[in-house]
Homo-oligomer: A and B are copies of this chain.
Amino acid sequence: MTDLKAMKATINDVAKLAGVSIKTVSRVTNNETGVRQSTKEKVQQAIDQLKYQPNQSARSLAGTKSYVIGFVYDNPNAYYVIDMQQGILDACRANHYELLIHPINSKSENLLDELVEMVKHSRMSGLLLTPPLSEMTDIIQSLEEKGIKLVRILSGNANSKVTTPSVFVDDRSAAFQITQHLIEQGHQKIAFFGGDEEHNSSQERRQGYIDALTQANIKIESGLMLAGRYSFESGVESCKRVMSGVSKPSAIFACNDEIAAGALFSARLLGLDVPKDVAIAGFEDNPFSRQTWPKLTTAAQPTQEIASQAAELLFKNLRPSTQGDSTEQFISFQPQLVIRESTQS
């Protein structure tokens, strides 16, 4: 049983026990090159024996690195954020980094200053960004110009011309699959309920929808493509609107599960049976997509895994030894189609 009062082992203790200088211990803990294998083992043994863990404060005070990264987000989807945090935290623990979370308002006036101030004040050595922040190219560029290391997580694919290390989620292809699934179920009139336009994901998902319809030779009806926001209310609204229009859809592809849940709610109000009268599909696999009635067909992304890999990518770019080397700066993920009752008649 560890006792708080019991002095923590320091680098000096390890050095003494291993019979080397503290600098050598430092080399081992930092995985630096130029330490003989036998020495490394000797030191590692002492580290294990004393359960030595470097003091982060001393580290960041003495060195130029800080072992602290920041996770910046502005996302109302709590499950997404929590999963991201968990994934990042896992990677942080494995790499002896600490995580500072930083929810922000991406519409803030002086967003850039706020971020720079935060990085400076908390001595963060890098930042992980999610949409919509990760898609604001001007902010990204300014941040990089100031020498802040970044990894973006966003909707899209690696064909991008930017150089910022990024983790892409191929929403377009997943949206294509969902739409295709709807078509396979015999639907010809399929509506699309969009999310916030400032999120790239909304555009990507719409493009996937359009691609699928095009490939199936189904005419794109602009009256069936509604703009909206990523919210339950928006789904309610869009459903009400489209169902009172001239051209009524037999299926709806909502840009995320919340919109889909709203559409579901609205359809019921209108006396429509789901999926008999209208099939509804969502996106994201929000936990409550399994708790609606009927359960929602959707696209699932391995959020935690995405987060871990994004963090690992950041760490790689933070290590001077591997900097500028051949580390692949782009990672891609493919969401998975999850078919449930809301689209199966």
B147/A5 in contact, CB under 8 A:
yes
Which listed residue (B85, B122, B290) contacts A101, Cβ 8 A?
B85
A161 CB–B CB distance under 8 Å: no
Interface centre among A85, A148, A268 (most CB of B within 10 A): A85
Q: Which residue of B lies closest to A85 (CB)?
A: B101
Which listed residue (B1, B53, B60, B232) contacts A57, Cβ 8 A?
B60
Distance (Å) between the CB of A204 and the closest chain B CB? Answer: 24
Residues from chain B with a CB closer than 8 A to the CB of A55 are: 61, 123
A222 CB–B CB distance under 8 Å: no
Distance (Å) between the CB of A145 and the closest chain B CB? Answer: 9
A100 CB–B CB distance under 8 Å: yes
Interface on A for B, CB 8 Å cutoff? 1-5, 8, 53, 55-58, 60-61, 66, 78-79, 81-82, 85-86, 89, 98-101, 103, 112-113, 116-117, 119-123, 146-148, 232, 258, 261-262, 264-265, 268-269, 287-288, 290-293
Residues from chain B with a CB closer than 8 A to the CB of A81 are: 78, 82
B98/A99 in contact, CB under 8 A:
no
Distance (Å) between the CB of A257 and the closest chain B CB? Answer: 10
Complex: A116 Cα to B61 Cα, angstroms: 24
Copies of this protein in the assembly total: 2
Q: Which residue of B lies closest to A235 (CB)?
A: B291
Residues from chain B with a CB closer than 8 A to the CB of A1 are: 112-113, 116
Distance (Å) between the CB of A169 and the closest chain B CB? Answer: 19
B258/A122 in contact, CB under 8 A:
no
* Contact flag A98-B79 (CB < 8 Å), given A4-B146, A4-B148: no
Complex: A101 Cα to B65 Cα, angstroms: 21
Q: Which residue of B lies closest to A60 (CB)?
A: B57
* Contact flag A113-B146 (CB < 8 Å), given A78-B78, A82-B78, A120-B8: no
* Contact flag A2-B291 (CB < 8 Å), given A89-B103, A101-B101: no
B147/A122 in contact, CB under 8 A:
no
Q: Which residue of B lies closest to A53 (CB)?
A: B121
Complex: A68 Cα to B23 Cα, angstroms: 28
Residues from chain B with a CB closer than 8 A to the CB of A264 are: 293
Complex: A287 Cα to B148 Cα, angstroms: 36
Distance (Å) between the CB of A315 and the closest chain B CB? Answer: 18
Distance (Å) between the CB of A275 and the closest chain B CB? Answer: 15
Complex: A185 Cα to B68 Cα, angstroms: 55
Q: Nearest 8 A-B pairs (CB), nearest first?
A: A78-B78, A4-B146, A57-B61, A78-B82, A57-B57, A78-B79, A57-B60, A288-B288
